[in-house]
Amino acid sequence: MLRLLNINTFYGEIHVLKNITLHIQEGEIVTLIGANGAGKTTLLNTISGIINARAGQIMYNGRDVSRKSADRIVKMGISQVPEGRQIFNPLSVIDNLKLGAYVRYRRDGNKKIQRDIEELFSLFPILRERQQQLAGTLSGGEQQMLAIGRALMSRPTILLLDEPSMGLAPLIVAEIFKTIAKLRDATRMTIFLVEQNARAALKLSDRGYVMETGKIMFEGDAADLLENKEVQRAYLGKEKKPIWE
């Protein structure tokens, strides 16, 4: 479904992503882990068209999207939940959600989008209660739910999640991971997850990649990465019960 071939991305003359090759199959949850500064967010931004790769190809459903604009990539079915949420603080919850569907209004019309908002409220009931509230006044967990909901309003086939647990209390993190699991189980949504909570993310995932200084160092089934001694030592720490159970 999504395949990256020898992707190289730069910030000026700084070589951030170095010959990145990976693939994601339809219906999978794939996790990318790595230390801060490894290039994980840059990789998601390159897929999303926010940054253009200097070399390599990004293939999505057989089409080369390497030079597509960010809005075009959203229209094609790839939506990103950015690190730090980046919701529109001065706008209400409902207006944030409607903006998430901006690429669909001409195609689908207001009635269908409103039905999708209702479905989204069943996934995140707290957003129904808060729908007229200014987004900037929500709690951190509620803002993360809104950011995910806004991305889902474009009806993506691939959802890119950048550090969804960052800065959240453990109980809220558990709710976010439960939601990711629900998306997979109920809709077979394809998800590419960047997450510092490496053990929890891998336990949720089908496969994973480990990035160091802009390079993929390990890849494989999530269960195999969980048992890899080098990955354990560098990223996993002491084993705990999965937080969504």
What are phi and psi for residue 176, nearest 5 degrees?
-65, -45
* Beta strand extents in 82-168 (DSSP E only): 158-162
Contact 210, 201 (CB under 8 A): no
pTM above 0.75, yes or no: yes
- Per residue in 179-203, pLDDT tens? 888 888 877 889 999 998 888 899 9
What sign has the CA pseudo-torsion 154, 159, 160, 166?
A: positive
- Per residue in 47-93, pLDDT tens? 999 999 999 999 999 999 998 999 999 999 999 999 888 999 999 99
The whole domain housing 133 covers 85-155
Asked whether residue 142 falls in the same domain as residue 187, the answer is no
**What are the DSSP calls for 49-78, one per residue?**
TSS--SEEEEEETTEE-TT--HHHHHHHTE
Of 116, 135, 155, the residue that ends a domain is 155
Structural domain count, the chain:
2
Query: In CATH, what number is assigned to the domain containing residue 192?
Result: 3.40.50.300
